[in-house]
Amino acid sequence: MVTLRRSLLAAILALAAFPTSAQERAITVASTTSTEQSGLFGHILPLFTEAAGIRVRVVALGTGQALDVGRRGDADVVFVHDRAAEERFVAEGFGGPRHPVMYNDFVLVGPAADPARIAGARDVAEALRRVASARAGFISRGDRSGTHAAELRLWREVGLDPVQGRGQWYREIGQSMGPALNAAAAQGAYVLADRGTWLSFRNRQDLRVLAEGDERLFNQYGVMVVSAARHPHVNAEGARRFVEWLVSPVGQAAIASYRINGEQLFFPNAPQPEPARPS
Amino acid sequence: MGDLHAAITAALGLILAVDPAVMAIVGLSLRVSLSAVLIAALVGLPLGALLAVTRFPGRQSAIVALNALMGLPPVVAGLLIYLLLSRSGPLGPLGLLFTPTAMVIAQAVLIAPILAALTREALSGLWEEYAEQLRSFGAGPLRAVPTLLWDGRFALLTVLLAGFGRASAEVGAVMIVGGNIEGFTRVMTTAIALETSKGDLPLALALGLVLMAIVVAVNALAQALRGAASRWAG
Amino acid sequence: MRAPDTILPLLVEALRFAAGGVEILHGVSFSIEAGQPTVVIGPNGAGKSVLLRLLHGLLPPGGGAVRWAAAPDRAAARQAMVFQRPVLLRRSVAANVAYPLALAGIAPRERARRAEEALDLVGLAALAERPARRLSGGEQQRLALARAAALRPEVLFLDEPCASLDPSATRTVEEIVAALARRGTKIVMTTHDIGQARRLAGEVIFLHRGRVLEHAPAPRFFAAPEAPEAAAFLQGDLVW
Ligand SMILES: Nc1ncnc2c1ncn2[C@@H]1O[C@H](COP(=O)(O)OP(=O)(O)O)[C@@H](O)[C@H]1O
Ligand SMILES: [Mg+2]
């Protein structure tokens, strides 16, 4: 009886104890679903860990939420794609400086039947105008993500307030990119997606890329170290090394080498130090 | 139909191939949920037993509150624990957010009221039977609590299994407080949510089938134990 | 000479009890001394079980008093009760006997010794490790007796200890009760079985519709009951 109780106790303790060592050797990165779900992190993080001996734990959220996680001090690095929001984050003193890392682009995706007749449009504003005037179904992320911010910026540029159509043709779902694509596929609706998630998305059904290539669909990613002055517990050293690696030639090459079906998803564009010019 | 078939094939593949990444996720799911059940049981079982044996003013309100807590949406529980454990929250210095421990806490908070309510229900019949005899022995309600917990152990096993089922099926709270970090806090349910949002519905469904197989296996094991032991105890 | 720590005699004064607006005991008074078994007899529904519960302190009196010759907690610690339907814990036979001993603060070694002795007394020693709730009805009642006896109470209340037993099990239980009485335990028991009362009683309390109609030494009561209801009951004419 006593031995039974003792071994039960031991089992409880073993079960409840989770390894906490290697804590200093890890950093937490608040990032976006687009970078995580596209598989980019799965490709580049093992390379960084191998080089630096630092594990990277990625919490994938919308850009707005990821920045909030950084503000609260719950991550060491924030890696997102909404320049205006990122600059606000830096200006408020929560972290920085902001380093541009890479870009890809957004694509306007919709059903093959294309009820709003936007296929092939180079002018994304014109495409959105047609979606609105056809009152064709449109899925909005509605989650303060970088993609959501980009979508709202585009509507403003068109001079339309889609919120008027909310609940009818304009549907805010408040979820990440994948669920938004699932919803568009299920409802035969249009949706703005980042190309990375789109390329790795499996449940396309009859969704197609209908409009792309407009320079307004440019999607820049930036990275920032969370301020150790605000949050003394952050792993500042690990965070700094991660950011330095990302913008270094090695990190940039790692990003460039990630491909799905031969197609490159992200294009590194961190400013490189000027090569020393012979004078 | 095709998707379902693909899912079943994929599920079998996942189980048979003993994919290390999947096994790690399964292992973490089991550890998190079993730990949560243990911790919730340490609170919920005595609390439920106490509610079964005591009569005090406000007891009815306590039971109503407990039943309401049973319906606490996991996302709400997750959010509350997120705010508590966040570095900017009162328990921030512990550094527990986005760790398996945070997930254990969230699940324990979710299922403790369930365990307490089910325990109260399971033990009140036993208490009806025992009350007079225990009083004759000079045992008051407080002393009756451990007696009822022990003598009701077979019924309580079912209660624990209900808690385990709910814990291991839960996704909202662990997603928020664990962060679904690959190789660290990713469990079956958050992996399923992730694959769903990546549009890989067959893989998501296959993981779901694996999860169900685990829950069924744990239940079968526990029921077999219970059967053997209760045949003994009568 | 009375032992200095005795809780007897028990004085019952104008004891009343009502439940659900119905008066069940209408103010009964009597006293119980140490000695041979006191048997409460009376037809079904007379109030015997309620009376025993009041004496044992399981029900609060609705009026009147139950007075022991000792302080209440001492009195409570020196008495035990076996119920009409034995309430056995879902544990082994031995663990059932040990349970109240542990509550009484008796050390584990002494507990085991007493449990063994009590199980010997009721002839269940061989079944000590068996689950209690798997025993037959007669064995269960004997276990309940052993459990109470192991506490070495001064007063042992038994409520219809043989109500649902066959004749041979009844005989065994009666032998155990008689043995306990010989060892000096004061037995206070109820029965509606006149034969059992004749075999065991030192004195009889005849309870009828919540009133004590007669309280007399057993030989006198059975030879010449004073109350007409008691006479009718003894002849088997009084059903309730
Ligand atoms: N808790 C109770 N509430 C209401 N009536 C009760 C209660 N307990 C006993 N009675 C009633 O009191 C009467 C005496 O019951 P009891 O003492 O069990 O009789 P018996 O002499 O057969 O043991 C019966 O009419 C019974 O129905
Ligand atoms: Mg009775």
Cβ–ligand 1 distance for C19 under 6 Å, the answer: yes
Closest residue in chain B to residue A38, using alpha carbons only? B198
pLDDT tens-digit map of B104-153: 999 999 999 999 999 999 999 999 999 999 999 999 889 999 999 999 99
pLDDT of C147: 97
pTM: 0.85
* Ligand 1 neighbourhood includes C48 CB (under 6 angstroms): yes
Domains: count for chain A = 2
Q: Is the CB of C60 under 6 A from ligand 1?
A: no
Q: By C-alpha distance, which of B203, B227, B229 is closest to B9?
A: B203
pLDDT tens across the length of chain A (279 residues): 445 555 555 555 555 555 544 445 899 999 998 888 888 999 999 999 999 999 999 999 989 999 999 999 999 999 999 999 999 999 999 998 999 999 999 999 999 999 999 998 889 999 999 999 899 999 999 888 889 999 999 999 888 887 766 668 999 999 889 999 999 999 999 999 999 889 889 899 999 999 998 999 999 999 999 999 999 999 999 999 999 999 999 999 999 999 988 889 999 999 887 665 555
Between residues B11 and A90, the one the model is more confident about: A90
Phi and psi (nearest 5°) for C131?
-65, 130
Ligand 1 atom closest to Cα of C190? 23
Q: Does residue A251 share a domain with residue A196?
A: no
Q: Is A20 a member of any domain?
A: no
pLDDT for A275: 62
Chain B and chain C share a number of CB contacts under 8 A equal to 44
Q: What was the pLDDT predicted at A14?
A: 53
Q: Are both A109 and A99 inside the same structural domain?
A: no
| A189 and A119 fall within a common domain | yes
Q: Touch between chain C and chain A (3+ CB pairs, < 8 Å)?
A: no
Who contacts C214 (Cβ-Cβ below 8 Å, separation ≥6)? C204, C205, C206, C221, C225, C226, C227, C230
Q: What is the ipTM of this complex?
A: 0.92
Q: Which domain holds residue A71?
A: 26-103+220-268
One-letter amino acid for residue B75 of the chain: V
Q: Is there a contact between C74 and C223 (Cβ–Cβ < 8 Å)?
A: no
- Highest mean pLDDT among A262-266, B21-25, B158-162, C185-189 belongs to C185-189
Q: How high is the pLDDT of residue A276? A: 59
Residue A159 lies in a domain: yes
Rounded to whole angstroms, the Cα distance separating B4 from B213 reads: 16
Residue A206 is assigned to a structural domain of this protein: yes
- Specify if A3 maps to a domain: no
Q: Is the pLDDT of residue B212 over 70?
A: yes
Q: How far is the CA of C57 from the centre of ligand 1 (A)?
A: 16
Among C16, C25, C49, residue to substitute to test ligand 1 (most atoms within 8 Å of Cβ): C49
We report the CATH number of the domain holding residue A37 as: 3.40.190.10
B129 at C interface, C-beta within 8 A: yes
Q: Does any domain span residue A46?
A: yes
C240, part of any domain: no
The mean of the pLDDT values for chain B is: 90
CA distance C235 to chain B (A): 35
| Ligand positioned closest to the Cα atom of C84 | 2
Q: Residue A11: inside a domain, yes or no? A: no
Q: Does C26 touch chain B (CB under 8 A)?
A: no
| Chain C residues within an 8 Å CB radius of B143 | 103
What is the rounded distance in angstroms from the CA atom of residue A151 to the CA atom of residue A62? 14
| Residue range B18-43: mean pLDDT, rounded | 92
Supply the range of the domain harboring residue C98.
88-152
Class of domain B20-233: mainly alpha
Q: By CA distance, what is A199's nearest residue in B? A: B198
CB of B147 within 8 Å of any CB in chain C? yes
Q: Do B234 and C89 touch (CB under 8 A)?
A: no
CB distance from B197 to chain C under 8 Å?
A: no
Can you give the pLDDT at residue A165?
62
Which parts of chain C sit beneath pLDDT 70?
Answer: 1-4, 238-240
Establish if C194 belongs to a structural domain. no
Q: What secondary structure does DSSP assign to A33-97, as a single string?
A: HHHHHTTHHHHHHHHHHHHH--EEEEEEE-HHHHHHHHHTT--SEEEES-HHHHHHHHHTTSB--
Give pLDDT, residue A1: 46
- Nearest residue (by CA) to ligand 1, atom 26, is C45
Q: Using CB atoms, which residue from A18, A178, A233 is nearest to B198?
A: A178
Query: How large is the average pLDDT for residues B69-96?
Result: 93
pLDDT score of B198? 84
Q: Are strands C79-82 and C155-159 parallel, antiparallel or unpaired?
A: parallel
Ligand 1 touching residue C46 (CB < 6 A): yes
Same domain for A45 and A73? yes
Q: Specify whether A61 is located in the same domain as A192.
A: no
Total length of chain C:
240
Provide the pLDDT for residue C4: 58
List residues bridging with C22 in a β-sheet: C19
pLDDT at residue B96 greater than cutoff 80: yes
pLDDT at residue A277, as a whole number:
58
What is the number of domains present in chain C?
Answer: 1
Rounded to the nearest angstrom, the distance between the alpha carbon of C217 and the centre of ligand 1 is 26
Nearest CB to B133; choose among C83, C131, C133: C83
Distance from the CA of C64 to the center of ligand 1, in angstroms? Answer: 19
What is the identity of the amino acid at C79?
Answer: Q
